[in-house]
Amino acid sequence: MKSYIGCKIIQAEAMDECSFLREIKGQNVENRETMPGYKVLYPDGYVSWSPQRAFETAYREITQGEKQLI
């Protein structure tokens, strides 16, 4: 397989999995364990959820100065 690297600016906020499923996806999550993570908004408008560890490994918050350079 070939190797690839991608780069994009996303918006995110801390949100546990059950809150995401209930509030964003409209699913019933009674009696389900939850885990910490992030609600993620991509530039094309797609909204998803990412587990905390995976998110924090892949992303870091950018400063206002960094954002202005882009």
**Tens digit of each residue's pLDDT (9 = 90 or more) over 13-31:** 999 999 999 999 999 999 8
**For residue 22, is it within any domain?**
yes
Residues sharing a CB contact under 8 Å with residue 37, sequence separation 6 or more, in sequence order: 14, 15, 16, 17, 20, 49, 50, 51, 52, 55
The domain of 27 spans: 11-62
**For residue 2, is it within any domain?**
no
Give me the chain's average pLDDT, please. 94
Percent of the chain at pLDDT exceeding 70: 100
**For residue 23, is it within any domain?**
yes
Q: How many domains does the chain have?
A: 1
**For residue 28, is it within any domain?**
yes
Helix (H, G, I), strand (E, B) or coil at 34: coil
